[in-house]
Amino acid sequence: MAAQSDDWPPELEMHGAADADLGSGSGSGSDSPDLLLARFLGHLANERQVSPHTHGNYRRDLGRISRWRLEQGILAWSDLRDEAIRRYIATRHRNGIGGRTLARELSALRTFFDFLLRERLVAHNPARGLRAPKSPRRLPGSLDADTLSALLDTDTAVAAGATANGGAAGQGDADPGGASPGEASIDTDPLALRDTAMVELFYSSGLRLAELISIDARDIDPADAMLTLVGKGAKTRRVPVGRLALRAIATWLRVRSLLAAPDEPALFVSSRGRRIHPRTVQVRLKQWAQQRGAGRHLHPHLLRHSFATHLLESSGDLRAVQELLGHADIATTQVYTHLDFQHLAQVYDQAHPRARKRR
């Protein structure tokens, strides 16, 4: 189950009730700007059942556009034209807002107007066909295979390293800022065993953070070494789980009952016995790497990208990597994964008929 958004009240998360701040606007009735936006947010929550994170992005982006619209004297959504939207995008871009953020805002506006068109509340979609300025894509880094293997093969952590971040005794990971002083041995402490299992699974199967925390214990089939999970867009896929990841998970499962509440289905739980929170995973991974002297910040996306990079460098099979990552479009995989120039040059020298070295 996805974690609830910190800045979105539970009653609105579940029911999409009207929010007085969402659209500003002073009108009343079914066509007032604030009620139109509230109706759309209700549609997202109840009909499309988007995640709290996605719901929050729509709320913030459309709320920002609505406030700008009113500042420009455009009192009704039906009066918004493409020229005004272009001015909005240009103003935001001049203020340093990147292309990806602006593309997300345009996408939210297009989706909102598609909803209004469906409800016959507007005559056209002014955001249709508009594009955000392009911004350079930043490729995430990756750990080389030897470095990552060395970290995963470490069996123990120094007690001082476990407490270097100021964790208080007896808190476990309820306080994500640190670990308790008793976490000296990675092969005996339940939380440390859990953390190692999470790292192994991230790297073994290239999971997103949201995918990892959503896994239930029953979702892994150790006989087939496969994991069934729900990815972006509520799409279900099956991914393989490596031998060493299965071993780490089996070790964690032997002690999981020491932490997990009796009725908790989640594979990974916190020290409080419930499904682990995304922020806890992020902080614990950082701590896990620090204990082993990684020398850099370790986070879920770095492990996912390392998985994709290493797999692509070894196999060269972009389609397979696309399926394993759960990308709907192979263009996403082409941007997300990269081969270093040396590897590309080697492939070229070995494969191209006009580049092969004479023997």
Which among 39, 93, 208, 272 is annotated as catalytic?
208
Cα end-to-end distance, the chain, whole Å: 60
Please list the residues that pair with 238 across neighbouring strands.
228
Q: Are 229 and 219 in contact (CB under 8 A)?
A: yes
Question: Does the active-site annotation cover 208?
Answer: yes
Residues with Cβ within 8 Å of residue 192, at least 6 apart in sequence: 157, 183, 185, 186, 288
Query: Using CA atoms, how far apart are residues 349 and 281, in angstroms rounded to an integer?
Result: 43
**Phi and psi at residue 229, in whole multiples of 5°?**
-140, 165
Nearest residue to 177 (alpha-carbon basis) of 279, 276, 84, 273: 279
DSSP-assigned beta bridge partners for residue 266 = 216
**Given 118, 128, 232, 356, the catalytic residue:** 232
Out of 43, 64, 301, 343, which one is annotated catalytic?
Answer: 301
Active site residue 304: yes
The single-letter DSSP state of residue 44 is I
Catalytic, out of 58, 88, 203, 336 = 336
327 is a catalytic site residue: yes
Q: Catalytic: 336?
A: yes
Helix (H) or strand (E) holding 221: strand 220-221
Q: How many Cβ atoms are within 10 Å of 94's Cβ, its own excluded? A: 8
For residue 305, give Cα distances in angstroms to 189, 191, 236, 300: 28, 25, 20, 9
Paired with 222 in beta bridges are none
- For residue 86, give Cα distances in angstroms to 22, 93, 101, 131, 220: 22, 10, 15, 9, 48
Do the Cβ atoms of 52 and 2 come closer than 8 Å? yes
Phi/psi at 158 (5° precision) = -75, 135
Q: Identify the active-site residue in 69, 275, 304, 305.
A: 304
**Which helix (H) or strand (E) is 228 found in, with range?**
strand 226-230
Return the active site residues: 208, 232, 301, 304, 327, 336
